Structure 1
């Protein structure tokens, strides 16, 4: 737990000298195995290019350590430090090569020391013996990273590690004992063969087809099928291996083989013909796992897991949909459903990012609203502003965007206005242009009080005033239209310049009288008074005061 805290705090700490000294003590050979590996990882997390020479001695010693977990931790940490300290790490090539060629310690001796240490001290921690040799895989990756720009060195490395025992997985005479290391070596050989077809790499790939591991067999067959300008004769051994995988009891091998043969059939259909019968039998295969069934299973347990796992599930669904674009309708239905469920910001952000990626990379999914987070609402509105005008009926999105102008906060309202502006620019509709021009005119007039008084108030009064229209006064003919401006307006019975009516004078008298009464004057000025008494009940029973 201490090492995890150190790694998390490394990004905000300003002074790490004390922590560095403490971690270096844990990296000493006398420390427990579990402490040394974790200390190496934590130290490399806080190490930069300037501190790398000071810890070089510790890392070089850890790389060649006989314990696979310590060696693997040092190699992986060096891999992550390579971009920051290339010149320093390139000097470790001999140690990395030694880690690849290191002999595994005796399993009996390791197990016996493990049991002895466990029985002698209950307070000390030890790791059980490992037989995976995963440090070879890590060391091979780091060594290739160091020598990747030297083709001759990479070719020599491949030929040296391939040796004479390409099919002897698990034998004592082989250098590599990890299947992942073999797969990585096959990929390096395929890359060299792709860059220089004259290199004698095909024989190595063909030899790895007879390896004892199915993973290595498949990787070699896949590499041969991907060779440029490969002949049917060269494809024959790889197709035989893939044909055997089609009848394997492991469904992962069947799926991998059928997928590789499908890709190969696009360019070499005649070479795949011997596998047609086996592929036809797979049509009735019992394994009927599909995306639709998978989505139903995921929907069932989404409400039972935490937000951290929900984010992982959403990211996996996004990757799955990008691989199978035809299933975008099912994926979008699931994502829109979980977007309405309860959840935190990170979960909702992952869902929105997934929808954005589907819209970006899958054109059929662009027919894909509501969020409590401002940042996500702004991004959704931006997407509607960009993609909405391109749809067949862009006007149906305007109402939803306009609702955000009225209901949301200032940030979302600003984003909604920007989205509406994009609709106004990109939608070429005469009716929309009329409304936009009228709105632009009135918005301009509202900024100018004089013009607003002239064109809005007076114009409305002028337009609403009735006019006397006499057809006999108009020119007979269709060549000249009737002009509404020349029609005289009818005079109103009341004018704005007329003298005040007696009713208004009476209201002023009432107001003056009421102001003299202190109890009534406290209520303020008189707002309105009736010119005639208003009967509250029947007129015969009313008393006039």
Structure 2
């Protein structure tokens, strides 16, 4: 135990070199052949961690670890497999695949998922071996397994198709064969959606039509509806297939499910069947991204009152708001009402806009672009609780200070926030609205507005001091003394950052949105982000810095991953759409490098996004 702990401690040293690792690796290698399972497990688990940062240092142990693939303890065998996949070279891939094939049937699904993720990383490392690895993935895809396991395999095949162009055709056919007997509706619909995007771009799109149309006859209504949409995409993208697609869609008009029938009718009309007049380009309709979050659209439609005025999609809030998970009935001294994020799914912009437009001092500021989440300016459990919401307009920034008095024996009057903007040169104070009275545990708002250059992402730091008149209150009778004392309370500083001028707006199809964006607006650069605790921390830091919406679940970094790609979208002030592709990598010294590609409606905004990263 002492020897193992000493070796493990050496491997966990920050900045340890390969030379310093050698004696520890030698000891762990001896443990791999121990008769005690606990020693074998401890050694292979430690070597698995070392392989993430120093794979070459572990290669000497590969022969010993290959013998552990057949270990009776399946945990040891799984760790041995994944370590070999991280440290193996291109010439050893075929041999490893043969050994893993026999091994997979003996382990539980959770272990299989770990192996699949390791194989995905290996294929991206050695793209020339995609045939061997793709065949392995397709074979295990046809075997028995639960949803999470099958989803991990499908996700791996999709990633390989996207990142290795030569793997596209074979990968799509493997997915087509899988949906022939797939028992999971979610996976079938996801694969059909992916086929609709990638299939029309292949050398022979017609060979996928049979697999897709089979779903219309043999599956449940959800999958049938998805298949109809996929067929329509082939018709929109491949003119030579359009007549055949029309025939298939017309057959779907007699389906037993109304959703399937409605989709078929809609797509026939959209694609111009029977001489129908096409109101807008079919490609834009089928592949274009929805500019508003679905949850916001759903809520707005539910709130829409039927009238002579048609529903206006431009009135739907476009910002995605995350909701706090507050404990029920938990006592809290923090501000409530407008001082805290609303509990409904609709973004707060509508609620705040109604409030601010009703105040004469601010009614002339124009349309509200964005309201931030509340920023705490006081520590918990202090005598006064204050947070601030930043309201962003084209030429103004308005601070809404939400204040709560937590002392029963006091009444605060003429409550204002005195702001020192000496570190915010581009801002000029233009209006304010003090809070006349602040009784105990009754939240109220004080406002302060600054003017800034129009359409510019002006940034700065603001020092805040709460100023008020204190009057004593008799808690038993509620009587307030006539005389008061002027007092001040120091608050935390507040920053307006570039991300405050960015709305989180998702796109439903990032790749299509990217390709439709002007390529001349693209700006690409590479950055060193310095040492980080993990890749997860680096990804989250950049997302928070830019204030953009992650797309397609790319904000989730796989465990133990040394590289990751992230897709972001948003709308910059002035209604400028912005898309960003980020590629991260982390080395053995935990130094993180990032490649950033940005496209937007305006080239100057693409440059600005890079400036935000460079200065942040």
Greater relative CO (CA pairs within 8 A, separation 6+): 2
More helix by share: 1
More strand by share: 2
Determine if the TM-score, normalized by the shorter chain, exceeds 0.5: no
TM range (shorter): 0.3 to 0.5
Which structure would you say has the larger Rg?
A: 1
TM-score by length of 2: 0.37
